[in-house]
Amino acid sequence: MQSLCQQLLTICMIFVAITKSTYLLAEQPLAPQEEVNQALTILVDAVDFNRGSVRAEPNAWRQGGPIAVLYGNDAEYDMTFPVDAIYTLELFVAMESPRPLNLFLDGIQMATVCLDGTTPSWNTIDAHWDKPVSIPVSAGNHIVRLATQNGGPFPHVIQMKWTSNVLVSADWVRLNQIVQLLRSITQEQPTFDSVRPEALYKAVDYLATHYGSLDSVQQDEIIAQIKSIQDSLGVIETTILDDLKKAETQFASGNTDGINRKDFDLDAFEQRVQEYCQKYYDLKKQLETIRFECLVQNNPLLDFNTILVRQTNQPALVNNWLSSAIRPVGNDYHDAIIAFNPKKRNDSATIFFENDGKMIADLRLHWDANRFLYTSSVDNELQVFEYDIQTKSSRQITPDMGNDISNIEGCYVPDGSFVFVSTASMLGVPCIAGLSPVGNIFRLEPDGQTVRQLTFEQDQDWNPTILPNGRIMYLRWEYGDLSHYYSRILMTMNPDGTNQVEHYGSGSYWPNTLFFAKPVPNGSSKFAAIVSGHHGSMQEGELYLFDPEISRTETEGVLAQIPFHEKKPDYLFDFRQKRNGNGQPEPEPTRRCGLEIQPMISVHLKILPMKQLASSPLILTGPPMGLALILIPAFPNGICFSLALKESTTKCL
């Protein structure tokens, strides 16, 4: 059976993203092959551009597909071509309509790509290899530039593939793949879920000191293990860097006819690389095991054995200026509530509750944990339901209030009443000519019949939730008396609708939107929320931890961005200077403006804080699962952990 490294070496040419230029022979395994000369292929990930106005977009237009560059109008790549040849260029691209790109080599236009061959959508999951073009390229260093025509928008480019008409030896192919594997390790980019020894030290110390998860002897032993692994990783990484330099030197020699085995023992070098790579991945697994044992299995804050999660084939997110009441109804949802034990690694989920193909959304667990609210459909409208965990039965909570009226996002209130978002005000969003309904907050009294309207907005309210002090926190789209109209203010009110006041963001240019805000329990004033834009990714954005007791304005109340960054968000920018008829810049005063926040690091949804200064499970989008359940610490420089299910392709929200 092949070792892990051998398997990786076999498939890495297809799946591993390499920074800058990656040289490989497509679809060739690393094991020694028959001495047959073959064509050389160079892959370059589009996100690895050296200069340009494009932007790497790790989340938008993906739905689990690969990362693309988009938005700008040019990208430059510093590349090394090892041999003189005619190279054929293909772009792996998603473009619903043609967006031609001019191809430049060292400042000289050589061809035009992306002229036709459109894809079903702009989403990168629908990407294909576009029509190839061929150009002559000499051996050496070159600047490759892709630029839109007339400053138009950039197609969603994922990868470039250059294939030469020059044949190279099998030795060259093997060395090529070794270089690729070594680069995949040395240029590995950290993710939200990366195992970082320094963060693991902090997590172990924090849980042991504050919650007694370990005694002093156990703590010292675990820290010693982490230190030993960290030191071993350092030695291996140094060795891998040295080997990479040797391999790159041989590969850059341009000797495509073969390698001089007297000067460079390829077989011994390959075996050495395999051994060190195997050790590297084994040590990484050891760190992952320690992390799981400390942060999950023996974490006193995870004092439960079951997590309920929505499993769905369509999260049904809507644009940020719309109410979730417009989500489609019907029997096309493959929704279920699934249960799994987070303390069992890769636990198999069991189906807890299904709904005959109808939506199960907006989950809200009761404080007694014996029932929960959810949104589903009745005929052509949405209503709030309650599921009783003990009797395994559902009942409709919100009454039918007439045709075209939907009730969603139910929330328990301690006095036995419920609050929810409803379109019963029969208003339409003004900026789109009233073509979509406005959701306001209503209250259902404990008698289960009396309904009162609590908010009277001309625009949306979203996500009502209970604060530890018993007040209702919700997001309000404010439209009047503003310096810019992209503004959503986090509000609070009494459960009867009185004393509606700002909680965070009044008079602020940032944040534009605070979706799914949830308080940190146990009397804390802190809350977590998703910062998004008015026209940004649908109900997605970056996760921040706030404390309004520090400040309620702009970034001043930000405690941290999660994954944690010490620097507060920079939301100010200068407008680009206008150009006059001669193309010369015209002076324009600097303005302050709330940025349209696009997710740059990670996209988070549906925050579920657990305990003060503890860990918080939440739903997070990202590869390879599309959606996953992530445990995130609420102390700075903490370490994240994916509570992965065995059925990892399941979408959860």
Over residues 166-176, mean pLDDT: 74
What tens digit of pLDDT does each residue of 122-164 get?
A: 888 889 999 999 999 998 789 999 999 877 788 999 999 998 8
Is the Cβ–Cβ distance between 606 and 618 less than 8 Å?
yes
How high is the pLDDT of residue 5? 38
Q: Which of 221, 162, 129 is nearest to 20 (CA)?
A: 162
Radius of gyration of the chain (CA): 28
Q: If we measure between CA atoms, which residue out of 515, 323, 317 comes closest to residue 405? A: 323
Question: Are 175 and 183 within 8 A, CB to CB?
Answer: no
As a whole number of angstroms, the distance between CA 229 and CA 231 comes to 5
Bond into 511 cis (ω within 30): yes
Question: Is residue 129 a contact partner of residue 91, using CB atoms and an 8 Å limit?
Answer: yes
Lowest mean pLDDT: which of 235-239, 311-315, 542-546, 555-559?
Answer: 311-315
pLDDT band of 564, cuts 50, 70, 90? low
**Mean pLDDT (whole number) for 632-636:** 57
Q: Which whole number is the average pLDDT over 471-498?
A: 84
Separation CA 619–CA 638 (nearest Å):
18
Which residues, in sequence order, are CB contacts of 311 under 8 Å at separation 6+? Answer: 334, 335, 336, 337, 338, 349, 650, 651, 652
Tell me if residue 417 falls in helix, strand or coil.
coil
Q: What are the backbone angles phi and psi of residue 154, rounded to the nearest 5°?
A: -85, 135
Look at residue 385 and tell me whether its pLDDT is greater than 80. yes
Mean pLDDT, the chain, integer: 76
3-state DSSP of 532-593: ECCCCCCCCCEEEEECCCCCCCHHHHEEEEECCECCCCCCCCCCCCCECCCCCECCCCCCCC
Q: How far, in whole angstroms, is CA 131 from its chain's centroid?
A: 30
Res 423 pLDDT > 50? yes
Q: Give me the mean pLDDT over the 220-225 stretch.
A: 88
Beta-carbon contacts of 372 under 8 Å, excluding residues fewer than 6 positions away, are: 308, 363, 364, 365, 366, 386, 387, 389
Q: Answer whether residue 472 shows pLDDT above 60.
A: yes
For 35-39, 168-172, 593-597, which range has the lowest pLDDT when averaged over its residues? 593-597
What mean pLDDT is predicted for residues 635-642?
A: 55
Q: What percent of the chain lies above the pLDDT cut of 70?
A: 73
Confidence (pTM):
0.68
Task: Please identify which residue in the block is written with the tokens 């060795």.
Answer: 239
Element (H, E) at 173: helix 170-186
pLDDT tier at 238, thresholds 50, 70, 90: confident
User: Cβ neighbours of residue 559 under 8 Å, at least 6 residues apart?
Assistant: 526, 544, 545, 546, 547, 550
Tell me what the mean pLDDT of segment 172-180 comes to. 73
pLDDT tens per residue across span 312-371: 777 788 888 899 999 988 888 888 888 888 788 776 778 888 888 899 999 898 888 888
Of 65, 56, 54, 58, nearest in space to 122 by CA: 65
